[in-house]
Structure 1
């Protein structure tokens, strides 16, 4: 992959900046693209919107914002605190968040389709919840999805997260491990992977791959990514790639 010095950002067009690479690249040279979900692939932070049903959105959103900015170092504990505040929210209220509030970010479907057409596998790896990630996986035809499982009893959230076979909570370290394991599973090098995210818990996976992309991201994430998309849709990433 052609490179330029990491401290020499190149502005391709307004609100699209790259560093450490020299476009045009070839999309077919990559084998995997990994997306964060909340505020990256989709327009909302699901935990905040579920909290709205419990009348606790402001409280939960403040914790989410601090975690995404990297001001809270223990992501697992921050998520446990937020999920505890969701106790008593009904499954129907969670469903309403999916139906009424969740939207794909602009260009999401187009980017996924372009990547699949170029032969890439697509991974959704999230610190959010399976209720949303599994539906997005099926809706977009994604190859893999990993996120956290909310415990439900009697049709209501208990305020707890259910451990899964791979671990308890999908935090930054688990996102990185998931990307690396997926690379191994499909037989590619991490340098042949792309990772897109917006928050501090995405930095570990973004640092493990060949092409890291910050989408409307927090300042710390934007500064460390090879590509920063500040306006427009996710499909603006395709501006980096020439015709195969």
Structure 2
């Protein structure tokens, strides 16, 4: 049996895509300024992520699920995302999306990029409307880090061949757990603990980081 060459786990919002989905949903409910302010503080590590997410999701109550489609048509991919995922697949890597965002978007993104796994938060919907609540445990920094470990175990991939890519404080534990942590257009707090920092908007730069680390 041939084992995968490695595991790479990506954050979604502001990493694989160029938006923060929760902020864009907030525009539909006339609460963008409030939600975006909380998002910014949470990504900078100034607020507890789980509590901040509950506060923000509460502001989305009443938004129709059908209206979310406009935010992802087309999917606002960061440059190089498709090429990166395709190249990693050719090289035998398992590619996962582990996001503090929402499954409604993450599942569609995973299908577009042919990701091997996706983990994200699930918005509660009733009668076609968001209820302002999240179902189940919130995917916070701790769960992101443990998900990296769990996926590596699932696919029999040694931690020495794991990579994590993210942009905010919620990704810090995941980047520290991985053998190689890559900060992509990231907040200063994440850059300080990353092995590599990519400041230009081109996800193909991730390949150079892997080459430099002798992982590909």
Q: Deviations over 1:70-117 (max 9, x none)?
A: 111x211100000000000001221211125x4110111111111111
Is 2:157 the counterpart of 1:184? no
Any runs of at least 4 consecutive aligned residues in structure 1 with deviations exceeding 4 A, and if so which?
none
* Separation in 2, partners of 1:217, 1:116: 25
Q: What is aligned with 1:19? A: none
Q: Normalising to structure 1: TM-score of the pair?
A: 0.83
Q: Normalising to structure 2: TM-score of the pair?
A: 0.94
Q: What is aligned with 1:38? A: 13
Q: What is aligned with 2:34? A: 59
Contact 1:30 1:193 in 2 (8 A): no
Contact 1:126 1:148 in 2 (8 A): yes
Q: State the superposition RMSD in angstroms.
A: 1.6
Q: Deviations over 1:29-72 (max 9, x none)?
A: 95100000000000000000000000011100000000000111
* Separation in 2, partners of 1:178, 1:172: 10
Q: What is aligned with 1:123? A: 96
Report the more deviating stretch, 110-119 or 196-205: 110-119
Is 2:202 the counterpart of 1:233? yes
Tell me the matched-pair count.
211
- Structure 1 gap ranges (5+): 1-27
Q: What is aligned with 2:111? A: 138
Counterpart secondary structure, 2:96: strand
Is 2:44 the counterpart of 1:69? yes
* Separation in 1, partners of 2:57, 2:77: 23
Of the three residues 82, 86, 108, the one matched with 2:81 is 108
Q: Deviations over 1:101-141 (max 9, x none)?
A: x4110111111111111100001000000000001111111
Contact 1:36 1:124 in 2 (8 A): yes
Q: What is aligned with 1:16? A: none
Contact 1:30 1:194 in 2 (8 A): no
* Separation in 2, partners of 1:66, 1:232: 22
Q: What is aligned with 1:171? A: 140
- Structure 2 gap ranges (5+): none
